[in-house]
Chains A and B, each alone.
Chain A
Amino acid sequence: AQSVAQPEDQVNVAEGNPLTVKCTYSVSGNPYLFWYVQYPNRGLQFLLKYITGDNLVKGSYGFEAEFNKSQTSFHLKKPSALVSDSALYFCAVRASNDYKLSFGAGTTVTVRA
Protein backbone atom coordinates (compact mmCIF):
# COMPACT_ATOMS: atom_id res chain seq x y z
CA ALA A 1 0.00 0.00 0.00
CA GLN A 2 1.12 3.53 -0.63
CA SER A 3 0.30 6.69 1.26
CA VAL A 4 1.13 10.35 1.57
CA ALA A 5 1.18 12.47 4.70
CA GLN A 6 1.00 16.23 4.71
CA PRO A 7 1.47 16.95 8.40
CA GLU A 8 0.32 20.56 8.31
CA ASP A 9 -3.26 21.43 7.48
CA GLN A 10 -2.32 25.09 7.18
CA VAL A 11 0.80 27.11 6.54
CA ASN A 12 0.86 30.86 7.02
CA VAL A 13 3.71 33.04 5.82
CA ALA A 14 4.34 36.68 5.08
CA GLU A 15 4.88 37.78 1.53
CA GLY A 16 8.54 37.69 0.62
CA ASN A 17 9.37 35.01 3.18
CA PRO A 18 10.36 31.46 2.31
CA LEU A 19 7.54 28.96 1.96
CA THR A 20 7.81 25.26 2.78
CA VAL A 21 5.04 22.69 2.50
CA LYS A 22 5.91 19.32 3.95
CA CYS A 23 5.22 15.89 2.50
CA THR A 24 6.28 12.40 3.49
CA TYR A 25 5.38 9.25 1.65
CA SER A 26 5.28 5.50 1.90
CA VAL A 27 5.50 3.29 -1.18
CA SER A 28 6.88 -0.07 -2.20
CA GLY A 29 9.71 0.33 -4.64
CA ASN A 30 10.79 3.52 -6.34
CA PRO A 31 8.52 6.51 -5.84
CA TYR A 32 7.21 8.87 -8.45
CA LEU A 33 6.33 12.07 -6.59
CA PHE A 34 4.16 15.00 -7.64
CA TRP A 35 2.98 18.36 -6.37
CA TYR A 36 -0.27 19.96 -7.46
CA VAL A 37 -1.88 23.26 -6.52
CA GLN A 38 -5.60 23.97 -6.38
CA TYR A 39 -7.04 27.47 -6.43
CA PRO A 40 -10.63 28.02 -5.24
CA ASN A 41 -13.21 26.54 -7.59
CA ARG A 42 -10.52 25.28 -9.91
CA GLY A 43 -9.02 21.95 -10.81
CA LEU A 44 -5.64 20.72 -9.68
CA GLN A 45 -2.71 22.24 -11.52
CA PHE A 46 0.53 20.30 -11.93
CA LEU A 47 3.56 22.02 -10.38
CA LEU A 48 6.42 19.55 -10.56
CA LYS A 49 7.42 15.91 -10.30
CA TYR A 50 10.31 13.71 -9.29
CA ILE A 51 10.93 10.54 -11.25
CA THR A 52 14.65 9.99 -11.06
CA GLY A 53 17.90 11.94 -11.19
CA ASP A 54 18.68 15.16 -9.37
CA ASN A 55 17.02 15.29 -5.95
CA LEU A 56 16.16 18.97 -6.40
CA VAL A 57 13.34 19.43 -8.85
CA LYS A 58 12.32 22.80 -10.22
CA GLY A 59 8.79 23.48 -11.36
CA SER A 60 6.27 26.12 -12.28
CA TYR A 61 5.87 29.56 -10.65
CA GLY A 62 9.26 29.43 -8.93
CA PHE A 63 8.50 26.33 -6.88
CA GLU A 64 10.98 23.57 -6.23
CA ALA A 65 10.97 20.37 -4.23
CA GLU A 66 13.66 18.22 -2.72
CA PHE A 67 13.49 14.46 -2.76
CA ASN A 68 15.04 12.85 0.31
CA LYS A 69 15.05 9.09 0.08
CA SER A 70 16.32 8.41 3.59
CA GLN A 71 13.63 10.56 5.14
CA THR A 72 11.00 9.55 2.56
CA SER A 73 10.15 13.20 2.09
CA PHE A 74 9.40 15.50 -0.81
CA HIS A 75 8.96 18.99 0.62
CA LEU A 76 7.79 21.82 -1.61
CA LYS A 77 9.64 25.12 -1.34
CA LYS A 78 9.58 28.62 -2.68
CA PRO A 79 12.28 31.12 -1.69
CA SER A 80 10.01 34.16 -1.69
CA ALA A 81 6.26 33.67 -1.37
CA LEU A 82 3.67 35.81 -3.11
CA VAL A 83 0.12 36.58 -2.02
CA SER A 84 -0.99 34.85 -5.21
CA ASP A 85 0.56 31.59 -3.93
CA SER A 86 -2.28 31.31 -1.45
CA ALA A 87 -4.00 28.04 -2.38
CA LEU A 88 -4.42 24.38 -1.49
CA TYR A 89 -1.39 22.21 -2.19
CA PHE A 90 -1.42 18.46 -2.72
CA CYS A 91 1.45 16.01 -2.65
CA ALA A 92 0.95 12.72 -4.50
CA VAL A 93 2.89 9.49 -4.94
CA ARG A 94 2.76 6.38 -7.02
CA ALA A 95 5.07 3.45 -7.24
CA SER A 96 7.12 3.27 -10.42
CA ASN A 97 5.39 0.00 -11.33
CA ASP A 98 1.85 1.01 -10.43
CA TYR A 99 -0.84 3.12 -12.05
CA LYS A 100 -2.52 4.53 -8.98
CA LEU A 101 -1.67 8.02 -7.76
CA SER A 102 -2.31 8.53 -4.05
CA PHE A 103 -2.89 12.06 -2.79
CA GLY A 104 -2.27 13.65 0.57
CA ALA A 105 -5.03 15.49 2.39
CA GLY A 106 -3.72 18.83 1.24
CA THR A 107 -2.15 21.88 2.91
CA THR A 108 -3.77 25.28 2.77
CA VAL A 109 -1.20 27.99 2.24
CA THR A 110 -2.01 31.57 3.15
CA VAL A 111 0.45 34.30 2.23
CA ARG A 112 -0.30 37.61 3.93
CA ALA A 113 0.69 40.91 2.42
Chain B
Amino acid sequence: DAGVIQSPRHEVTEMGQEVTLRCKPISGHDYLFWYRQTMMRGLELLIYFNNNVPIDDSGMPEDRFSAKMPNASFSTLKIQPSEPRDSAVYFCASSLWDREGLPDTQYFGPGTRLTVL
Protein backbone atom coordinates (compact mmCIF):
# COMPACT_ATOMS: atom_id res chain seq x y z
CA ASP B 1 0.00 0.00 0.00
CA ALA B 2 1.46 3.32 -1.07
CA GLY B 3 -0.19 5.28 1.70
CA VAL B 4 -1.46 8.81 1.31
CA ILE B 5 0.40 10.65 -1.43
CA GLN B 6 0.86 14.40 -1.48
CA SER B 7 2.45 16.69 -4.00
CA PRO B 8 4.45 18.76 -4.16
CA ARG B 9 6.53 18.06 -1.06
CA HIS B 10 7.86 21.59 -1.05
CA GLU B 11 6.44 24.74 -2.57
CA VAL B 12 7.97 28.19 -2.54
CA THR B 13 5.94 30.97 -4.05
CA GLU B 14 5.54 34.70 -3.92
CA MET B 15 2.76 36.56 -2.22
CA GLY B 16 -0.28 36.88 -4.45
CA GLN B 17 0.34 33.75 -6.43
CA GLU B 18 -2.05 30.84 -6.62
CA VAL B 19 -0.98 27.64 -4.89
CA THR B 20 -2.48 24.19 -5.46
CA LEU B 21 -1.71 21.28 -3.18
CA ARG B 22 -2.64 17.76 -4.21
CA CYS B 23 -3.58 14.61 -2.35
CA LYS B 24 -4.26 11.01 -3.29
CA PRO B 25 -5.88 9.14 -0.38
CA ILE B 26 -5.46 5.48 0.40
CA SER B 27 -7.59 3.47 -1.99
CA GLY B 28 -10.94 2.54 -0.50
CA HIS B 29 -10.90 5.16 2.21
CA ASP B 30 -14.14 7.07 2.65
CA TYR B 31 -12.91 10.13 4.51
CA LEU B 32 -10.34 12.72 3.51
CA PHE B 33 -9.02 15.48 5.74
CA TRP B 34 -6.86 18.53 5.15
CA TYR B 35 -4.80 19.86 8.08
CA ARG B 36 -2.39 22.72 8.53
CA GLN B 37 0.53 22.56 10.96
CA THR B 38 2.33 25.60 12.32
CA MET B 39 4.49 26.17 15.35
CA MET B 40 2.07 28.72 16.74
CA ARG B 41 -1.22 26.91 16.23
CA GLY B 42 -0.23 23.26 16.04
CA LEU B 43 -2.39 20.96 13.92
CA GLU B 44 -5.59 22.52 12.63
CA LEU B 45 -8.32 20.75 10.71
CA LEU B 46 -9.22 22.79 7.66
CA ILE B 47 -11.86 20.70 5.92
CA TYR B 48 -12.98 17.14 5.54
CA PHE B 49 -14.80 15.12 2.92
CA ASN B 50 -16.94 12.02 3.17
CA ASN B 51 -17.40 10.07 -0.06
CA ASN B 52 -16.06 13.05 -2.02
CA VAL B 53 -18.56 15.47 -0.48
CA PRO B 54 -17.29 18.35 1.68
CA ILE B 55 -18.90 17.97 5.09
CA ASP B 56 -17.32 20.61 7.27
CA ASP B 57 -15.17 23.48 6.02
CA SER B 58 -15.45 25.59 9.16
CA GLY B 59 -11.70 25.36 9.66
CA MET B 60 -10.86 26.99 6.36
CA PRO B 61 -9.32 30.27 7.45
CA GLU B 62 -10.55 32.55 4.69
CA ASP B 63 -12.26 32.64 1.34
CA ARG B 64 -8.82 32.54 -0.20
CA PHE B 65 -8.79 28.83 0.66
CA SER B 66 -10.81 26.29 -1.28
CA ALA B 67 -10.78 22.50 -1.51
CA LYS B 68 -12.25 20.03 -3.94
CA MET B 69 -12.51 16.30 -4.27
CA PRO B 70 -13.62 15.52 -7.83
CA ASN B 71 -13.31 11.77 -7.31
CA ALA B 72 -12.43 9.21 -4.69
CA SER B 73 -8.74 9.22 -5.52
CA PHE B 74 -7.90 12.91 -5.73
CA SER B 75 -8.29 16.11 -3.77
CA THR B 76 -6.87 19.60 -4.06
CA LEU B 77 -6.41 22.45 -1.66
CA LYS B 78 -6.05 25.81 -3.36
CA ILE B 79 -4.94 29.14 -1.94
CA GLN B 80 -5.60 32.19 -4.10
CA PRO B 81 -4.06 34.65 -3.53
CA SER B 82 -1.40 33.33 -1.19
CA GLU B 83 -0.01 35.39 1.69
CA PRO B 84 3.12 34.96 3.84
CA ARG B 85 0.99 33.94 6.83
CA ASP B 86 -0.15 30.90 4.87
CA SER B 87 3.35 29.45 5.22
CA ALA B 88 2.94 26.11 6.98
CA VAL B 89 3.01 22.38 6.44
CA TYR B 90 -0.23 21.10 4.94
CA PHE B 91 -1.19 17.50 5.57
CA CYS B 92 -3.76 15.32 3.94
CA ALA B 93 -5.13 12.31 5.80
CA SER B 94 -7.62 9.61 4.95
CA SER B 95 -9.57 6.98 6.84
CA LEU B 96 -12.15 4.28 6.56
CA TRP B 97 -15.34 4.63 8.50
CA ASP B 98 -16.02 2.78 11.73
CA ARG B 99 -19.13 0.85 12.74
CA GLU B 100 -20.94 4.10 13.52
CA GLY B 101 -20.09 5.50 10.12
CA LEU B 102 -17.62 7.96 11.63
CA PRO B 103 -13.93 8.26 10.73
CA ASP B 104 -11.70 5.43 11.90
CA THR B 105 -7.94 5.79 12.29
CA GLN B 106 -6.57 8.58 10.13
CA TYR B 107 -3.47 7.95 8.05
CA PHE B 108 -1.42 10.97 7.10
CA GLY B 109 0.53 11.85 4.02
CA PRO B 110 4.07 13.26 4.18
CA GLY B 111 2.84 16.83 3.92
CA THR B 112 3.56 19.81 1.70
CA ARG B 113 5.81 22.49 3.15
CA LEU B 114 4.56 25.79 1.77
CA THR B 115 6.62 28.94 1.95
CA VAL B 116 5.07 32.18 0.73
CA LEU B 117 7.59 34.99 0.31
**A residues within 8 Å of B by Cβ?**
34, 36, 41-46, 49, 90, 94, 96-101, 103-106
Contact = CB atoms under 8 A, between A and B. Distances in A.
A11 B45 CA distance: 26
Chief secondary structure at chain A's binding surface: loop
A87 B76 CA distance: 29
A97 to B, nearest CB: 7
B51 to A, nearest CB: 13
B110 interface: yes
29 contacts: A36-B108, A41-B110, A41-B113, A43-B4, A43-B91, A43-B108, A43-B109, A43-B111, A44-B91, A44-B93, A46-B105, A46-B107, A49-B105, A94-B102, A94-B103, A96-B102, A97-B102, A99-B31, A99-B48, A99-B56, A99-B102, A100-B45, A101-B45, A101-B106, A103-B42, A103-B43, A104-B42, A105-B42, A106-B42
Interface in B35-71: 42-43, 45, 48, 55-56
Contacts of B103: 94, 99, 101
Interface residues of B, number: 21
A97 B100 contact: yes
Interface in B62-117: 91, 93, 100, 102-103, 105-111, 113
Contacts of A46: 105-107
Which of B45, B55, B56, B113 has the most chain A CB atoms closer than 10 A to its own CB?
Answer: B45
A4 B108 CA distance: 19
A101 B4 CA distance: 18
Contacts of B45: 100-101
Nearest to B45: A100
Contacts of B48: 99
Nearest to B107: A46
A45 B93 CA distance: 11
